[in-house]
DNA sequence: GTGGTCTAGACCACG
DNA sequence: GTGGTCTAGACCACG
């Protein structure tokens, strides 16, 4: 319940998406695991100084994606990890994001090999922070 | 002037972004170099059967990014390449996007090796679709 | 575009769900097929005398489920049929609905065999209305 | 009085509905018959470790449906079975639910035979979980 | 014109 | 107290 997302109001990505991404990241890092309770819609809205509907929208998306279980009247909990999409759908969902990343990285002047190496480096960092609990 | 972007009206990404990305990719791949002329806003809009405002918006973004020079009354040209960012700055800009991609991909159930392989596959496809599409 | 859902404001199921179900049913019946355009968010909201956000919520769910493709600035279209969920996830999603139906039907006094027979009968009706275009 | 519903707090369906459904199923299956006594609101709430209001709400619905008789100061009993609906009325009530289930299932990619098979499987499971769960 | 995001606030269902 | 639905209305992105 001490989950504390940070949002940036003037950012490129919408507030509800920042919440979704941070919950996913926290799950990927192992900071949130099955059964952990998230703050209530209203509590998180107050803490972040945003509208409760915005939090509700983020939670609805996480719910649809099977990341959290929402229990009306009880609260919001991290769900048992599952893999809802078919192999084809998973590729379908990842490819546009890969294309966007590639376009951006190539234009920044990175070569494909550099991008792949950076990717592995970030993945290691992710794995480390996962096992050691927290690192910066 | 024979630059011929391909746009997909039924795509997820906005038309203006497809144009921006394809110009940037062509520059990154060396298919468009300093001084090359691009079609005028109106010419490109007519050829692609899209709204002239959409092309204008794409060109405006490319102008602001220093990728092209719009010379009133003369035409639109690829600008002198500039590398305004230091190596550290380039990494700083790319890393959050890499992290977001990794989180999403790992969440979808892909392994790091699968992600790297898909990345190379998409890079091949992006290069192919851009180089083979020069004539109309 | 002549898609005309009927909603009941005092009903048990929320308005946005009624819209979702009717689009799905129309697709199942073959009355809506790939590429067909749906009314815009605002147009449908005006026609049904409901708030645009309610229609937007229905469309967002259909979008997430891959039933429609939403193109900002262009409109809403029936997507190419696809099967986004894994086999396990499909069962996971169907079972609670089967349980609810069984409970209701058994309490109404139907036997399991009667339920199964009724199910086939409704499926035939669905198939018929699909091939003949429209029936009551 | 040895009626012992099983509730799952982490479930999708509300607790009060789980109680209602289990009483209805037990009646439909003949495991509870006219005159059988159910635990009092408080007793059941304590046994299930849930709020007494939740049990009260379930009993209220069962009362309204004529499934149970609450006799103030005496207890809660299974009512005389009544079959208030004509055959036509029963079908009229079930069909829209069958149609909704079919639409959803076909949309998920199940064939009619698969749906029928799953239906029987769930019916077996519902019967088992109810009959084998009589003692605490 | 199209859809997307967000706020403010009401009302309901569930516990 | 918990989350869910809906309205009314502002503002933004895209074409």
Neighbours of A77 (CB within 10 A): 17
- Angle of the B15-28 helix axis to the A87-107 helix axis, nearest 10: 60
- Is residue B122's pLDDT more than 60? yes
Residue A25 and residue B109: Cβ atoms within 8 Å? no
Residues with CB under 7 A from strand E: A 14-17, 50-54, 57, 72-74; C 40-43, 53, 56, 59-60, 63, 70-76; D 14-17, 50-51, 53-54, 57
Q: In this predicted structure, what is the pLDDT of residue C64?
A: 86
- Is residue C136's pLDDT more than 50? no
Residue identified by tokens 């409704």 is: C122
Phi-psi region of C109 (alpha: psi -120 to 50; beta: other; left: phi over 0): left
- Subunits next to C (3 or more Cβ pairs <8 Å) are A, B, D
Q: Which residues of C touch B9 (CB under 8 A)?
A: 71, 74
| Mutation target vs C (from A16, A64, A84; most C CBs, 10 A cutoff) | A84
Instruction: Out of D24, D85, D95, name the one closest to residue C103 (CB).
Output: D24
- Torsion angle, alpha carbons of A48, A49, A53, A56, to 10: 10
The answer to whether the Cα torsion of D17, D20, D23, D26 is positive or negative is negative
Q: Which residues of B touch A118 (CB under 8 A)?
A: 91, 94-95, 98
Q: What is the per-residue pLDDT across A25-73, written as a single tens digit (0 to 9) for each?
A: 888 878 899 999 999 999 999 999 999 999 999 999 999 888 999 988 8
Residues with CB under 7 A from strand F: A 40-43, 53, 56, 59-60, 63, 70-76; B 14-17, 50-51, 53-54, 57; C 14-17, 50-54, 57, 72-74
Phi-psi region of C49 (alpha: psi -120 to 50; beta: other; left: phi over 0): left
- Subunits next to A (3 or more Cβ pairs <8 Å) are B, C, D
pLDDT by residue, tens only, chain D of 136 residues: 567 788 877 667 889 999 998 998 888 888 899 999 999 999 999 988 899 999 999 999 999 888 999 998 889 999 998 766 788 988 988 888 888 888 888 888 899 999 999 999 999 988 776 554 443 3
Could you give the CA distance from residue B102 to residue B136 in angstroms, rounded to a whole number? 37
- Is residue B46's pLDDT more than 50? yes
Residues in a beta bridge with C38: C76
- Is residue B129's pLDDT more than 70? no
Residue C72 and residue B9: Cβ atoms within 8 Å? no
- Token reading at B123: 């890079």
pTM greater than 0.85 (yes/no):
no
- Token reading at B38: 């691009």
Could you give the CA distance from residue B15 to residue B4 in angstroms, rounded to a whole number? 14
End-to-end CA distance of chain A, in Å? 21
Neighbours of C35 (CB within 10 A): 11
Instruction: Out of C61, C86, C92, name the one closest to residue A85 (CB).
Output: C86
| Chain D residue closest in CA terms to A73 | D14
User: Concatenated DSSP letters for C27-51?
Assistant: HHHTSS-TTPEEPPHHHHHHHHTS-
Mean per-residue pLDDT of chain C: 86
Phi, psi for residue D61 in degrees, rounded to 5: -70, -40
Q: Output the CA–CA distances (angstroms, integers) from residue D35 to D27, D75, D136, in the order listed.
A: 11, 11, 22
């Amino acid at each position: 319940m001490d989950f504390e997302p940070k949002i940036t109001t003037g950012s490129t990505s919408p507030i509800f998406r920042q919440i979704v991404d941070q919950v996913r990241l926290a799950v990927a890092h192992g900071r949130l695991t099955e059964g952990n309770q998230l703050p209530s819609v209203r509590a998180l809205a107050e803490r972040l100084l945003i509208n409760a509907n915005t939090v509700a929208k983020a939670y609805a998306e996480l719910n649809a994606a099977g990341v959290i279980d929402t229990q009306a009247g009880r609260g919001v909990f991290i769900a048992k990890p599952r893999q809802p999409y078919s192999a084809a759908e998973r590729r379908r969902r990842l490819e546009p994001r890969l294309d966007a990343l590639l376009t951006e990285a190539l234009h920044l002047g990175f070569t494909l090999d550099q991008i792949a190496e950076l990717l592995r480096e970030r993945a290691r960092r992710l794995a480390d922070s996962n096992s050691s609990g927290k690192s910066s």
